Structure 1
Amino acid sequence: MAKVLFEGRKELDYRVNEAYKSLRTNVQFSGTDVQVIDFTSCTPNEGKSSVSFNLAVSFADSGKRVVMIDADMRKSVLAGRYKVGGVEAGLAHYLSGQKTLDEVCLKTDIEGMDIIFSGPFVPNPAELLESQNFHDLVQYCREHYDYVLIDTPPLGSVIDSAIVAKECDGAIIVIEADAVSYRFVQNVKNQLAKSDVKILGTVLNKVPMGNGKYGYGKYGKYGYGKYGKYGEYGDYGAYGHDGDK
């Protein structure tokens, strides 16, 4: 199995690191039957890829064997963000039968963490994610890892995440503070629920600290904070720039 280095990875500060430890603990207390987790969001750039990546690192740091699967075969930015070079094959190659699992599942410089990058952008990602190959991949990962974290495109944009959720034990919705409306989040939640996946909860991301708005006792009707309306964010073609996806 080849090995990759995350040259662009930065160490988290104490407060952020503790937040991921708390998230990790909450996932572990969701039950022993929660092993494969789908990460999604409502819109692009809410930070779900960063959340799923850093949670995978946190699990590895705690001694767990974890694999992160980048299932965004439309506009993934993961390899570029962490400055990973030399990735020649990914999920798209495996699902289309061009590469073996051993060729696309890579060791990382983080002890206990492996990763499968998305590979090239493809015109039919939904069909590939519904394939027997994807089912077989998830089953293999269940047998060889303690946790399997799957990063998927925003469910408010495309259906891919709901397809992936059918293979998962739980789903987490990453929400950017003050970026999307309550109604929009409810729509995404309801769409996930149709896949019969357990919704573990939401992660409130990009919270402005220090103004007291999100302190204890000041949560809105999500239970995680108060959100403003979401604005125009364009079509899916705008998704995947070098911002925080």
Structure 2
Amino acid sequence: MQKVLLRKHDKLDFRANEAFKTLRTNILFSGHDTRVITLTSSTPNEGKSSLSFQLAVSFAEADNRVLFIDADIRKSVLVGRYKAEGNKFGLTHYLSGQKTIDDVICNTDINNMDMIFAGPVSPNPTELLSGDLFADLIQKAREEYDYVIIDAPPLGSVIDAALIARHVDGTIIVVESGAISYKMVQHVKEQLEKGECRILGVVLNKVDLDRDSYYGNYYGKYYGKYYGNYGEETKK
């Protein structure tokens, strides 16, 4: 098994950390059989990959054995974003038959969390993700891990996420606040439903709590009541 060091693993502030704990708890209440989860979005740059990664970290911090899979084999951003050192092989090496599952799984410096990076950009991602090898990977991951979190490409751009969703227990749609239209999200929802995928819900991402009166007032009052001057101390 490869070993990697994630040099730019983000440390969340209190508010963000609580948000991921809430998301994790909501997934737990979706049922004990909801263990393999994919996240997708309508377009690139909605924060889906960062959110997927932090969700995997949140599950690992709760003493679950977690596998995080970067399945965006068209245009992955994770290796560069987290400055991964020691990674040589990725998902495309496995799906193309060049390496085994054990060859591409990376043991990270995050306790309880392993990763599979995307690997080199594939010229035929649809064919690779719809093949038997991907199904075999998910089946083995179910046997070895408590939770499997999959970062899928934006479904508003390519069909890959719908192919991945056929093998998972549920999908979360990430929506950037104030940037994505209702019709775009509806299109993603319909694509998932065509594949008979269970939609767990939607995460509204990149909400500016200082500018958005509804969310800012709600969370400001809630955390102000229970955590004193937290909002004033962390405001930049």
Structures share a fold, TM > 0.5? yes
Q: CA deviation at 1:216?
A: 8.9
Whole-angstrom distance in 2 between the partners of 1:2 and 1:62 = 24
Describe how 1:1-245 pairs up with structure 2 within 5 A: 1-215=1-215
**Offset, 1:212:** 4.1
Count of aligned pairs between the two proteins: 218
Q: Which whole-Å CA distance do the structure 2 matches of 1:210 and 1:178 have between them?
A: 14
| CA distance, structure 1, for counterparts of residue 26 and residue 20 of structure 2 | 10
Counterpart amino acid of residue 14 in structure 2: Y
What secondary structure sits across from 2:213 in the alignment? coil
Deviation (angstroms), 1:88: 1.1
Q: Does the 8 Å contact 2:171/2:201 carry over to 1? A: yes
Aligned-residue offset at 1:110: 0.8
Note the aligned Cα RMSD (angstroms). 1.4
In 1, the alpha carbon distance for the partners of 2:214 and 2:166 equals 33
Contact 2:68 2:148 in 1 (8 A): yes
Amino acid at match of 2:97: G
Secondary structure of residue in 2 paired with 1:44: coil
Are the aligned partners of 2:90 and 2:104 in contact in 1 as well (CA < 8 Å)? yes
CA distance in 2, matches of 1:41, 1:54: 16
1:72-124 CA deviation, whole Å, 9 max, x = no partner? 01100101000012311100000110011111001111111000000000110
Q: Which structure 2 segments of 5+ residues have no match?
A: 219-236
Q: Deviations over 1:127-169 (max 9, x none)?
A: 0001110000000000111111110110000000000000011
Question: Separation in 1 of the partners of 2:132 and 2:210?
Answer: 48
Taking the aligned partners of 1:165 and 1:196, their CA distance within structure 2 comes to 9
Q: Return the letter of the residue paired with 1:18.
A: E
Offset, 1:211: 3.0
Tell me how far apart the structure 2 counterparts of residues 36 and 162 of structure 1 sit (CA, whole Å).
14
Whole-Å Cα distance in 2 between the matches of residues 2 and 214 of structure 1?
46
Counterpart-to-counterpart distance in 2, 1:165 and 1:16: 27
Q: Given the two structures, how large is their TM-score scaled by the length of structure 1?
A: 0.86
Larger Rg: 2
Q: What's the counterpart of residue 221 of structure 2?
A: none
Instruction: Give 1:33 shift.
Output: 1.4
Three-state SS of the structure 1 residue aligned to 2:148 is strand
Distance 1:205 1:212 in 2: 13
| Structure 1 segments (4+ residues) deviating >4 Å | none
Question: How far apart are the structure 2 equivalents of 1:110 and 1:123?
Answer: 32
Deviation at 1:14, TM superposition (A): 0.7
Per-residue Cα deviation, 1:23-82 (whole angstroms, up to 9, x for no partner): 000011111111111110000000010011000000000000110110001100101000
Identical pairs, percent: 59
Instruction: Give the superposition deviation at 1:197.
Output: 1.2
